[in-house]
Amino acid sequence: MNTSENNNQVILLKKTARYSFYFLSISMVGFITLAVGMNSAINKDPLFQLAMNVKKMVTPPESIITQNTNEYGQVTNEFAQLVKDPTKLQIPAPAITDKTIVAFVFGQSNSANSGGERFQANSDNVFNYFDNHYYIASDPLLGASGNAGSMWTITANKLIQKKMADKVILIAAGIGGTSIKQWRNGGDLNGMLDNRLKEAKENHIHITHFFWHQGESDNGTYESEYKNGLTEVIQLTQHYYPNAKFFVSQASAHCPNISSDAILKSQREITKLDNVFMGPNTDLISAIDRWDGCHLSGRGVEKASNEWVNLIQNPQKSN
C-alpha cells in the first residue's frame, strides 16, 4: 500500500471519528432534553408553564385549532371540556331570584362527566349555563370534560324537590385527571378558570356557591403544598365572588391508592377560611359503588348527592 492510500485511510478514519463524536453528542443532548421535558411536564413546574405560555403566543386561537368533534356531534375544546352538544335544549335566560342557587362546579373527573349514570332535570328549573347561553340541564354537562353522568344534575333536582331553591343554575368546569398544581396560580388551568369567572361576572351571573371536588390526583402530595394550592384557587373565586360559599369535598382516594391523610387534613383545614365549608367525604364511598373502581356509579352518585344536599342545607366547618 503506497503513501497516498495510507493518507486517505487516515483522513477517512479521522472524519469517521469526528462524525461519530458529533452524532453521540447530539444524541446525548437530545436525550437529556427529552428527560428534562418529561420531568417538567409530569410535575407541571415553571419550565413547563413557560413552554405552555410560549405555545399560546405562537399558535392560532383555540377556536381554530383545538376544537374536536366526535361521532355524536359533540365538540370539545383544548381542555377536553364539552362546549357544544346538538342534543341540548337552549332556552332564554331564566328569571333569577334571591332563592336561586347558581353553582360553579369544578375539580377533576368525579366533578365532571364521569359518573356511571346520566341524569337530567326533573323540572324546568334546573339549568346548565355555558358561554352566555342557558340550557335545560342534562348529563353530560356543557363546560366539563367527559361524556357520561355527573353528580350535579341529580343534586340540583334534590335541591328543587326539598324547596331549598326555586331554580338551580349549574356552571360546570371540571376536568378529569387534573392536579391542584394545574388549578393554582401559574397552572395551565388557572387562566381557563379566571376566564370562566370573568365571563360570568361580565354577564351579570351571580354565583352563589362553588362546589370543589378534587384531590385524587394529588394523593401523595404534601399537606402544606395542597393546602397552599387550594387556597390560591379559593382566593381567585373570591376575587370575583367574595360572598359566595365555597364547599370542599373530602376526596383523596385514587385507585389503587387508599385515602391520603395529608390531603383530607388539608381539605378540612381549609374550611377555617371565611365562607369555606366542608363537602362530602367521597373517600367513604367504597369500590362497590364505583363503576370502574374509581369513578362513581349511579348508586355512588346518589350517595354523594345526598351528602351534598345535607351540607348545602347545613354548612359545616371542620372541628
In 3-state terms the chain splits into helix, strand, coil percentages (rounded to 5) of: 45, 20, 35
Cα separation, 168 vs 156, whole angstroms: 6
Nearest to 153, CA basis, from 167, 166, 165, 141: 141
Mean pLDDT of the chain: 87
**What angle, rounded to 10 degrees, do the helices at 190-202 and 223-240 form?**
20
Contact 137, 121 (CB under 8 A): yes
* Band of residue 14 on the pLDDT scale cut at 50, 70, 90: low
Q: With 0-12 CB in 10 A as exposed, 13-18 as middle and 19+ as buried, what is 287?
A: middle
Q: Residue 191's pLDDT band (boundaries 50, 70, 90)?
A: very high
The 8 Å CB, 24+ separation contacts for 131-134 are 131/83, 131/199, 132/199, 132/203, 133/90, 134/90, 134/91, 134/92, 134/93, 134/94, 134/169
Quote the CA–CA distance of 234 and 61 in Å, as a whole number.
Answer: 28
DSSP string, 261-303: HHHHHHHHHGGGSTTEEEEEEGGGS-GGGBTTSSSB-HHHHHH
Asked, as a colleague might, if the bond just before 256 is cis with ω within 30 of 0, I would say yes
Residues 153-186 pLDDT 10s: 999 999 999 999 999 999 999 999 999 999 999 9
Look at residues 105, 138, 83, 79 and name the one whose alpha carbon lies nearest to residue 207.
105
Model pLDDT, residue 35:
53
pTM value?
0.80
Rounded CA separation 175/255 (Å) = 17
In Å, what is the CA distance from 21 to each residue of 10, 24, 33, 169? 17, 5, 18, 64
Report pLDDT digits (tens) over 201-216.
999 999 999 999 999 9
Report pLDDT digits (tens) over 246-279. Answer: 999 999 997 778 999 999 999 999 999 999 999 9
pLDDT in tens, 38-79: 555 445 455 555 554 544 444 444 333 468 988 778 999 999
